[in-house]
Amino acid sequence: MTQQGSRRVRVLVVDDHAMFRSGVRTEIGDAVEVVGEAADVEEAVTAVVQLQPDVVLLDVHLPGGGGVEVLRRCAHQGVPARFLALSVSDAAQDVIGVIRAGARGYVTKTITGDELVAAIGRVADGDAVFSPRLAGFVLDAFAGAAEVPSVDPELDLLSAREREVMRLIARGYAYKEVARELFISVKTVETHVSSVLRKLQLSSRHELTAWAADRRLL
């Protein structure tokens, strides 16, 4: 968790449900500084540019094209803010979509306030936040990669270690528990997770995009 001096992490909450926004504000308001709220893509982009938050809590489904659209436009503007996707939707293709567009993690809206604050801290530090569900989606997306010859195997495959870390997270292990289980440091776990995130974002693997389309037919 970042506590650079006494400066608290500045957070922007983007969600189209006012009730949810105010709920989040009261839950995390003591631990972080909520600098603003936004209800759609247009407002969100303006707020990100003007308020310069450290972390943006971003709803996956948002009027104006969804969270992906916010990420895309903010990337154009080159803002330094980091994004944490927060959603009630379990649609895998949408979740993977925002991660590929640049979000550094995904948590569901049923997360407790303390966990959310911890996740915000991680994202502010530049680390990735993988919930069990996201780890499951990622394993799904990369499944069967070993059989497919590809242009850039480096990006298209998870290493054995990364796969192991993903599986443990999917099994409900916290980073600390993963570290103990594999006899590595928490920092190393974070490195693995960040590397998975990078592969997810950079891989142009045909299967990864086709996967999203296929999955809704499952």
Partner 1 sequence: MTTGAPSAADSTAADPDRPALRRRLDGRLLGGVAAGLADHLRLDVLHVRVAFALLSGIAGFGVALYGALWVVVPVESPTERAEAAGLAAASRAGRRPWRATRRGDLGQLVAFGAFGLGLVLLLNTVGAGLPLLVLVPLLIAAAGLALLWSQADATERARLLPPQLTPDGAARGGRAARLLTVVRVVGGLALVGVAVLVFLVGSGRQTAVGEALVLLVVVGLGLALVVGPLLWRLLRQLEDERRERLLTQQRADVAAHLHDSVLQTLALIQRKAQDPRAVVALARAQERDLRIWLFEPEAARRSTLRAELEDTAAQVEQAHGVPVEVVVVGDCPLDGRLPALVRAAREAMVNAARHSGAPVVDVFAECVGDSVEVFVRDRGKGFDPATVPADRMGLAGSVVGRMERHGGTARVRSAPGEGTEVSLSMPRPQPGAAATEEEDA
Q: Mind giving me the DSSP string for the chain? A: ----TTPPPEEEEE-S-HHHHHHHHHHHTTTSEEEEEESSHHHHHHHHHHH--SEEEEESS-TTTHHHHHHHHHHHHT---EEEEEES---HHHHHHHHHHT-SEEEETT--HHHHHHHHHHHHTT--EE-HHHHHHHHHHHTTGGGS--S-HHHHS--HHHHHHHHHHHTT--HHHHHHHHT--HHHHHHHHHHHHHHHHH---HHHHHHHHHHTT-
* CB 156, min distance to partner 1, A: 14
Q: By CB under 8 A, tell whether 64 contacts partner 1.
A: yes
Residue 16 structure tokens: 């189209």
Q: By CB under 8 A, tell whether 91 contacts partner 1.
A: yes
Binding mask 154-193 for partner 1 (x = CB under 8 A): -------------x--xxxx--------------------
Total of chain residues touching partner 1, rule CB under 8 A: 35
Binding mask 69-88 for partner 1 (x = CB under 8 A): x------------------x
Binding mask 121-160 for partner 1 (x = CB under 8 A): -----------xx-xx--xx--xx--xx------------
CB closer to partner 1, 59 vs 190 = 59
Q: Give the interface segment with partner 1, choosing from 44-52, 90-98, 150-158, 187-195 (CB under 8 A).
A: 90-98
Interface contacts to partner 1, rule CB under 8 A: 16, 61-66, 68-69, 88-91, 94, 97, 110, 132-133, 135-136, 139-140, 143-144, 147-148, 167, 170-173, 214, 216-218
